[in-house]
Amino acid sequence: MGKRGRACVVVLGDIGRSPRMQYHALSLARQASLEVDIVAYGGSEPHSAVIENESIHIHTMPIIQFIMLIWFLCFKVPPPDAFIVQNPPSVPTLVAVKWVSSLRKSAFIVDWHNFGYTLLGIGADGQNETLFTTQVGSDVLLKPNRPALVVSSTSWTPDEDFGILLEAAVMYDRRVAALLDENDSTDEGVFWQEISCGKQYLYPRLLFIITGKGPEKGKYEEKIKRLNLKCVAFRTMWLSAEDYPLLLGSADLGVCLHTSSSGLDLPMKVVDMFGCGLPVCAVSYSCIEELVKVEKNGLLFSSSSELADELFMLFRGFPDECDSLKSLKNGALETGSSARWATEWEEHAKPLISEVIPTNLK
């Protein structure tokens, strides 16, 4: 059997928080039949499929320095036929990988996720009952008066304005509270008590689960505490690669706050949501409609008031009489089944890999 080709995936970040590059590594190993080295720094655990794949070798860097990166790429990993790197970050990754690729006579491939210069400019009291489910005999059933579960994944950075979601949540909260005749003196415990008592209304309570890590997380958590919300609740968390798709598959709606500084990249989080059959409300920008098809698998918004209007429209009559939300969910399921990562990678990325790595290296 001939020598297998080899690719090196470079991630100047936590590989466990880089699903895009983990997908690349898996596709290179499975679909292109290559040996794959991942050079990154540690932190979160990568997906089990990456760890368990015998063709993928992870090299974690203890210190993030230009010299350390060069040393890993030159001496730590075997000579690859191609280096694959995501941009951003541009500095020092692109310079280092480009220089090493010339030195080692390897192809240099960039996944242009964005342009660097543009970036610079829950449970209830009962043991057999949760907020969303109840047990009847041996069956676990969804509660008809359960809150709607809305998921958003954010990096908690300035390029994702979480304030838009907060303002929209406040608008929804005030509208629904007015319909329910709740005022500022209403105790927050009502949120849980009414669900336990079985009350059901035209508009549901909303529970937002916000996943991710980032520098502005603490600031927004403090803002949330001061909002005095009655019909909306927030929870923030970080989930493993195995648990995250389970959350997406259990949610009723996804919200994407990603705004492209270059106007050319598409958010992987929306691809993940569609892959789990979850419809999405996303911030509108130049190319997002390539992914989010309005009134088919999601909706777009440009302001907090537009997002609030969409929440109000989609969740009217939840969970049984919300036809618009059901229609979007069907569209998301269709999108997810027809546009999986492996299919897209096979069509768009594999031909490029085949060009730069000789076909006889298998």
* Predicted confidence band of residue 29 (pLDDT cuts 50, 70, 90): very high
Mean pLDDT check: name the lowest of 120-129, 211-220, 253-262: 120-129
Tokens (6 digits) for 302: 């440009």
Identify whether 308 is part of a domain.
yes
CATH code of 97's domain: 3.40.50.2000
Alpha helical stretches, state H, the chain: 19-30, 48-52, 66-71, 93-103, 116-120, 162-179, 190-197, 217-225, 243-250, 268-275, 304-314, 323-338, 341-348, 350-356
Domain-ending residue, one of 76, 91, 113: 113
Domain count, the chain: 2
* Per-residue model confidence as pLDDT tens digits over 172-186: 999 998 887 755 445
Last residue within a domain, chosen from 113, 132, 150: 113
Q: Tell whether 282 and 173 lie within a shared domain.
A: yes
Same domain, 222 and 89: no
Q: Per-residue pLDDT averaged across 288-314, rounded?
A: 95
Domain annotation covers residue 356: no
In the chain, what percentage of residues exceed pLDDT 70?
83
Residues 106, 154: one domain? no
* Domain shared by 173 and 31, yes or no: no
Both 159 and 92 in a single domain?
Answer: no
134 and 84 share one domain: no
> To the nearest whole number, what is the mean pLDDT of the chain?
83
**298 in a domain, yes or no?**
yes
Residue 143 amino acid letter: K
Q: Which tens digits make up the pLDDT trace of 318-353?
A: 988 899 999 999 888 888 765 567 777 888 788 888
User: 54 with 178, same domain?
Assistant: no
Are 20 and 164 found together in one domain? no
- Answer yes or no: do 31 and 168 share one domain: no
Q: Does 185 lie in the same domain as 63?
A: no
What is the predicted pLDDT for the residue at 143? 83
Q: How sure is the predictor about 276, in pLDDT bands with cuts at 50, 70 and 90?
A: confident
Q: What is the pLDDT of residue 118?
A: 47
pLDDT score, position 43: 75
Lowest mean pLDDT segment, chosen from 144-148, 314-318, 341-345: 341-345
Split at pLDDT 50, 70, 90, the class of 361 is: very low
User: Is residue 78 domain-resident?
Assistant: yes
Residue 42 structural domain: 6-113
User: Strands 139-142 and 82-87, how do they pair?
Assistant: unpaired
For residue 362, being part of any structural domain is answered with: no
In a domain, residue 353? The reply is no
- Do 152 and 102 lie in one domain? The reply is no
Q: Which residue has the higher pLDDT, 349 or 118?
A: 349
Residue 1 within a domain:
no
Model confidence, pTM: 0.65
Write down the pLDDT at residue 123: 45
In a 3-state reduction of DSSP, which class is residue 210? strand
Classify residue 355: in a domain, yes or no.
no
Confidence band of 68 (pLDDT split at 50, 70, 90): confident
Query: For 51, phi and psi rounded to 5 degrees?
Result: -65, -40
